[in-house]
Amino acid sequence: MISANPPLTLDKLNLENRFAGLPPHFYTHVQASPVSAPYLVAASPAVAATLNLDSASLDTPEFLACFSGNQTMHGSTPLAAVYSGHQFGVWAGQLGDGRALLLGGVTHAGKHLEIQLKGAGMTPYSRMGDGRAVLRSSIREFLCSEAMASLNIPTSRALCVIGSDQMVFREIPETSAVVTRIAPNFVRFGSFEHWYYNDRMDDLRQLADYVIEHSYPELQAHHNKYQALLSEVTRRTAELMAQWQSVGFMHGVMNTDNMSISGLTLDYGPFGFMEAFDEKHICNHTDQQGRYSYRMQPAIGNWNCQALAQALSPLIGSVDDTNAALAQYPAIYRQKWTDLMRQKLGLHTEHENDLDLIAGFFTLLQSNHADFTLSFRNLSKLSLQKTTNDELLRDLFIDRDGLDSWLQAYRERLNFEQSDDHLRQTGMMAVNPKYVLRNYLAQVAIEKAQKKDFSEVRKLLQILEKPFDEQDEYEQYADLPPDWARHLEVSCSS
């Protein structure tokens, strides 16, 4: 059968830059700075498909030229957007796309997706930066975007990483890369704060109207569409935080300029996945106070929504209406978190003691510093009767007696709802991933890539695209981190 919409080659992908329709002070047109001898590190056929881009295009010289920034795509009007933001809780003033260029967007299957190059050179918002991104952080962003998407967590996507031997200087000289990101939009909470703190209410309104028109058209008819916008972003953000917590994802730099108005995970920097559980874990080694530690993320999500509410308040009109939209955050977060935790424990019904049962498991994770991902995965293999699979879980805990008494309560709870082993295990395996982007896995792939061997990056992409599948042949990728990697540190430098 001939598909109604056959995939297109790169030259047929017609870009339209909607953001360029906003007045010129919202952005600056900037051409990418070319790089010499770009090479493909990795590309995602799945992301290409979302753009209706033919997967054969990923191996062409045109692809390298376009996504390294060396060639301007058909219909593309590259621009860097201005925004501001609160960084680590402090108003930072103007920031903007210091190393990102919005090329334009593609509409496919009723969805509009924007394409952005990150690391393609300086812009007027580069401040002290060089407009580049190092290979290491570009690979991390590429792999994690795709890992998160496969975990069914809202996120920007990544089409490809293109490397170049062009050196940039961080703590040491490193080679640079360009990562191509895809999202319905790249508008941030800080984009609104920018106009609010500059006292530019007309621009604020124009941005809000733009976002509603293109990303929240269903809110147009609302009697107070700006309140509806705040309400919807608050809901999405609260749910996103619950989703992050449920897989042990830590963003690391939840500044308001890194918060997506569409509720996506955005701007991957020093992120991490929880391994040995510690709710106080800080994945960004520059965040000494732990503002963005695992346990703080839900509260910081709320703080960021408050910052957005402040910026939107002149449009919403009344303090009460603003507060009403914002006030839903804790309840939405709690509900989503509880739903996800019930799924992770395989509970189909609701019981008043469920929160205690869930809290009991977290207390054990904390006191045993048990591996977060493997603990939930191995819990998924448990049966109502004890089997040898109990040992897979027990092996992760030092306090076996503590775990055993929790397991007894857990099994009583499962019996109470007449849980079916097969059904429950299948359901739990579909929400408790086996494979996440552990720091050491990324590190091994990065070190090979720095020597021009990209096989490990590509293999990791494939494995992380099916995080819930057993994939027996890749068993060791689910292992605990080796000793050398237990204290790998990730800084903001990227």
- The set of catalytic residues is 257
DSSP label at 60? S
Whole-number minimum distance, CB 81 to ligand AMP, in Å?
10
For residue 43, the cross-strand partners are 160
Q: Between 96 and 346, whose beta carbon lies closer to ligand AMP? A: 96
Whole-number minimum distance, CB 215 to Mg ion, in Å?
19
DSSP label at 110? T
Query: Is-contact 154 266, C-beta < 8 A?
Result: no
Extended beta strands in 121-156, E state: 133-134
Angle at 236 between CA 204 and CA 286, to 5 degrees: 80
Contact call for residue 283 and ligand AMP (CB under 6 A) = no
Using CA atoms, how far apart are residues 267 and 137, in angstroms rounded to an integer?
11
Contact call for residue 258 and Mg ion (CB under 5 A) = yes
Query: Is-contact 112 148, C-beta < 8 A?
Result: no
Whole-number minimum distance, CB 237 to ligand AMP, in Å?
17
- Residue showing the smallest CB distance to Mg ion in the complex: 267
Contact call for residue 116 and Mg ion (CB under 5 A) = no
Q: Residue 234 has which token pair?
A: 């608050």
Query: 């918002």: which residue's tokens?
Result: 125
81-140: contacts with ligand AMP (CB under 6 A) = 95-99, 125-126, 129-132
Q: Residue 43 has which token pair?
A: 């590309």
Whole-number minimum distance, CB 130 to Mg ion, in Å?
15
Whole-number minimum distance, CB 441 to ligand AMP, in Å?
22
Kindly state the number of chain residues that form the binding site for ligand AMP, as judged by CB under 6 A.
16
Q: Between 174 and 267, whose beta carbon lies closer to Mg ion? A: 267
Lay out the site mask for ligand AMP across 155-174 (x = CB under 6 A, - = otherwise): --------------------
Contact call for residue 265 and ligand AMP (CB under 6 A) = no
Using the rule CB under 5 A, which residue among 174, 267, 275, 371 binds Mg ion?
Answer: 267
Residue 402 contact, options ligand AMP, Mg ion, none, Cβ 5-8 Å cut-off depending on partner type: none
Coil, strand or helix: which one is 48? Answer: helix
The residue type of 342 is R
Q: Between 131 and 184, whose beta carbon lies closer to ligand AMP? A: 131
Q: Between 186 and 376, whose beta carbon lies closer to Mg ion? A: 186
Using CA atoms, how far apart are residues 160 and 181, in angstroms rounded to an integer?
8
Sign of CA dihedral 313, 315, 320, 322: negative
Q: CA 337 → CA 161, 231, 343, distances in Å?
A: 33, 18, 10
Q: Which of 306, 158, 323, 157 is nearest to 238 (CA)?
A: 306
Q: Which helix (H) or strand (E) holds 398?
A: none
Whole-number minimum distance, CB 130 to ligand AMP, in Å?
5
Report residue 443: phi and psi, to 5°: -60, -45
Residue 481 contact, options Mg ion, ligand AMP, none, Cβ 5-8 Å cut-off depending on partner type: none
For residue 176, the cross-strand partners are 134, 164
Q: Between 137 and 378, whose beta carbon lies closer to ligand AMP? A: 137
Residue 314 contact, options ligand AMP, Mg ion, none, Cβ 5-8 Å cut-off depending on partner type: none
Lay out the site mask for ligand AMP across 219-258 (x = CB under 6 A, - = otherwise): ----------------------------------x-x--x
Using CA atoms, how far apart are residues 281 and 304, in angstroms rounded to an integer?
20
Q: Between 53 and 79, whose beta carbon lies closer to ligand AMP? A: 79
* Binding site residues, Mg ion, CB under 5 A: 258, 267
The residues that touch ligand AMP, with contacts defined as CB under 6 A, are 95-99, 125-126, 129-132, 253, 255, 258, 267, 269
